[in-house]
Homo-oligomer: A and B are copies of this chain.
Amino acid sequence: MPLSARNHLQGEITEILLGTVTALITVKVGDNLVESVITRRSAEEMGLRKGDRVTAVIKATEVMIQKD
């Protein structure tokens, strides 16, 4: 495990929306859609495209729990 972030969810990009500074990346992970706001620059430098296999990475301190 190279990075301390605890959560790594593999999936496929289904949509990319580019703003001036930020970008919204939607990733299909199993039955869920995971949405991510990153910088537009990261999206461009990584060459992200619809259909790419990616991993959504999330630090454990950023995850909340809701009781169903």
Bound complex: CA of A24 vs CA of B44, how far in Å? 15
Interface bits A7-37 vs B (CB < 8 Å: 1, else 0): 1111000000111111111010111101111
Is A6 an interface position by the 8 A CB rule?
yes
Q: Please state the number of chain copies in the assembly.
A: 6
Q: With contacts A37-B39, A60-B24, A63-B34 known, is A68 near B55, CB below 8 A?
A: yes
Interface of A is mostly: strand
Measuring CB to CB, which residues of chain A are less than 8 angstroms from any residue of chain B?
Answer: 1-10, 17-25, 27, 29-32, 34-39, 41-43, 45-48, 52-68
Q: Name 26 A/B residue pairs within 8 A (Cβ), A-sorted.
A: A2-B66, A4-B65, A5-B42, A9-B32, A9-B34, A17-B21, A21-B37, A24-B39, A25-B65, A29-B30, A29-B32, A30-B31, A34-B63, A35-B63, A36-B63, A43-B65, A46-B67, A48-B65, A53-B68, A55-B65, A55-B66, A55-B68, A56-B63, A56-B65, A57-B63, A57-B65
